[in-house]
Amino acid sequence: MPLVGTGDILASSPHGAGAFNVILLEHATAIVAGAEAAGLPVILQISENCVRYHGALEPIAAASLAVARAAKVPVSVHLDHATDRALVEQAVELGVGSVMFDASALSDEENVAQTASVAEWCHARGVWVEAELGEVGGKDGVHAPGARTKPHEAVDYVARTGVDALAVAVGSSHAMTTKDAVLDLGLIAELRAAVPVPLVLHGSSGVPDETLREAVRHGMKKINIATHLNKAFTGAVREHLAANPSNVDPRKYVKAGREAVAREVEHLLGVLG
C-alpha cells in the first residue's frame, strides 16, 4: 500500500480519521499494526517534542515513512505542532506530506502572517497544512479546558491563512491521563457549519469513547491521540517487568508495550469509524 497524504485520508473517510503520535519506532509499527487489524487508514504524527527527544527529525521521520510505505492500509506521516519553520521545511524535504504549523502562541496578526506564509510555501510543494487558532486547552499549561474557538474568528482565520484544516478548542485538553473531558458538541456543530475545512480535535486522550463518537457525528474529522497510547505502552511495560523481574531483554518488555498500543489503536479506530 503506497504512502498517502493526510488530506487524502480525510477526504476518503466518511467518519473520523485517527491521528496517533509516534515517539519510538515501536509506536509507528504498533499504530500501523492496529490500523491493519481494523482495516482502516491511519495518520502517524511526529511532534516537535518528539524531534527534540531524538535530537533530530530525520531518523524518526525516515523510520515512520518506511513503516508507512510497507503498510497494508493507507498511512500518512504528519509533522505535528511545529513552531519552527525550518523544521517544517526539513520535514517536507524528507518526504513528510503534511504539517501542523503552530503559531498559536503568537499575537493573532503574527499568527496569521506566519501561518499564511508557511501554507503558501507548503502548497507550492503539494503539502497539506493544519494550523491552530488560539490555543487548545492544556497546552504548556496556558489554558484550562474551558478554552473555546469562536466560529466567526475561525472562518476569518482560514480565509486569511489558506490552511487545509483547523485545530479548534471545544473542551479537550492536552496530556490528560483520565477520560473525563466534556466537549461542547453544539460548538463543534456550529464550527462545522461555518468553517470550510476539516476540523481537528487535539487533546483527545481525555475524551470518553462515546463522546469521541459524538464529536465525529457533530463534525470533527481528524482526531489526535497521544497520551492515551503512552499510558497503555507504559502500563504494559510495567506489568511485564513486575511479572518478570529477572528479564533484562528490552525486546520482551517493549514488545508488550507495542502490542498494547496496537490493541488501543484498533479499538479507537473502530470508535471513530
Percent of the residues in the chain that have a pLDDT greater than 70, as a whole number: 90
Q: pLDDT band at 70, cuts 50/70/90?
A: very high
Q: What is d(CA 148, CA 265) in angstroms, rounded to the nearest whole number?
A: 28
pTM over 0.85: yes
Q: What is d(CA 129, CA 164) in angstroms, rounded to the nearest whole number?
A: 5
Local structure of residue 46 (DSSP, 8 states): E
pLDDT: is 205 or 251 the higher one?
251
Mean pLDDT of 196-216: 88
Could you please state the CATH topology (level 3) that the domain comprising 6-272 is classified under.
TIM Barrel (3.20.20)
C-beta neighbour count of 190 within 10 angstroms: 19
Which candidate in 8, 80, 180, 209 is catalytic?
80
Domain boundaries of the chain, sorted by first residue: 6-272
Q: What is d(CA 76, CA 69) in angstroms, rounded to the nearest whole number?
A: 9
- By the 10 Å C-beta count (0-12 exposed, 13-18 middle, 19+ buried), 95 is classed as middle
Question: What's the per-residue H, E or C state across 80-145?
Answer: EEECCHHHHHHHHHHCCCEEEECCCCCCHHHHHHHHHHHHHHHHCCCCEEEEECCCCECHHHCCCC
Q: What is the pLDDT of residue 208?
A: 79
Q: In this predicted model, what pLDDT tens digit does every residue of 211-262 receive, in sequence order?
A: 999 999 999 999 999 999 999 999 999 999 999 999 999 999 999 999 999 9
Q: What is the pLDDT of residue 137?
A: 41
Question: Is 45 a residue whose pLDDT tops 80?
Answer: yes
Beta-carbon contacts of residue 105 (< 8 Å; ≥ 6 apart)? 83, 135, 140, 142
Q: What is the pLDDT of residue 82?
A: 96
Question: Is 143 a residue whose pLDDT tops 50?
Answer: no
CA end-to-end span of the chain, whole Å?
20
Residue 80 is among the residues annotated as catalytic for this protein: yes
Q: What is d(CA 32, CA 68) in angstroms, rounded to the nearest whole number?
A: 7
Query: Scanning the structure block, which residue is given the C-alpha cell 481494523?
Result: 38
Asked if residue 268 lies in contact with residue 225, where contact means CB atoms within 8 angstroms, the answer is yes
Q: pLDDT band at 140, cuts 50/70/90?
A: very low
Beta-carbon contacts of residue 56 (< 8 Å; ≥ 6 apart)? none
- By the 10 Å C-beta count (0-12 exposed, 13-18 middle, 19+ buried), 164 is classed as buried
